[in-house]
Amino acid sequence: MTRHSIRIQALWSLALLFIFAGTTFAADKLPGEFRMMDEPEIHTTGKVLLLEFADFYCPHCHMFDSEVGTQLKKEFGDRLEVRMIGFPVMRGKLPTAFEMYEQAKVMGKGSEMKTALFRTIHKDKIHIFDRSLRSLLIREVGLNIKDFEAGMSSGEPYKALAHGTKWGERIGVTHTPTIVLNGNIRVDNIGIENLRTLIKGILKQDQAG
């Protein structure tokens, strides 16, 4: 190896050292309880993405969504995106609710449909979503019934559910709700104080550049 080659290799090693040191430093400085995953980061500067792997039939998911998720969204507004990833864990349930949510997402009413589905399942105690009940919920969230049902029949909502399920399995999701921030920050302590601390920390890092 020539002296020039040795110098080039040394410079590359130094550059890589700074890159990894910067990454570790940022993670070390983030407040709150979390663990980094070897997954791609999904991040827009000035905004935090909260991925909620959840089952519509899980009472803990309903509680998290109605209490923690809703409160955080009120606090952070447009700086926080809460996105549910359907991850069925309750046995003996049809996937219809998840498919309805996926179809509503495509039509721009995912959040509204999620709220309606959680309420119907946990407060109204209705678990079977036949066409008549679907029509009521579709109207409630302000969507066209014919277009919605055409989307349901296309099979695309089921594919979207399967994709989210595979994603959860790949990162080791075993229970719901499981929370991931920005695609690679796993949060086991999903209490509102810890999540609030982490979200503020990420936004502060973004602001600092």
Question: pLDDT, tens digit, for every residue of 73-119?
Answer: 999 999 999 999 999 999 999 999 999 999 999 999 999 999 999 99
d(CA 85, CA 161): 8
| 3-class secondary structure, 175 | coil
- Token pair of 80 as six digits: 């926080």
d(CA 170, CA 164): 10
pLDDT tens digit sequence for 129-147: 999 999 999 999 999 999 9
Q: Does the pLDDT value for residue 208 go beyond 70?
A: yes
What pTM, to 2 d.p., does this model score?
0.83
Distance in angstroms between the alpha carbons of the first and the last residue of the chain: 39
Residue 120 is which amino acid?
T
Q: How many of the other CB atoms lie within 10 Å of CB of 199?
A: 20
Residue carrying structure tokens 């503020």: 200
Do 62 and 122 contact (CB within 8 A), yes or no? Answer: yes
pLDDT tens digit sequence for 35-49: 999 999 998 999 999
pLDDT tens digit sequence for 57-83: 999 999 999 999 999 999 999 999 999
d(CA 2, CA 105): 59
Sorted by sequence, the CB contacts under 8 Å of residue 100 that are 6+ apart come out as: 113, 117, 129, 134, 137, 152, 157
From the candidate CATH numbers 3.40.50.2300, 3.40.50.300, 3.40.640.10, 3.40.30.10, the one assigned to the domain spanning 33-208: 3.40.30.10
What single DSSP character describes residue 37? -
- Give me Rg for the CA atoms of the chain: 21
What are the strands, taking DSSP E only, across 55-194? 80-86, 178-181, 185-187
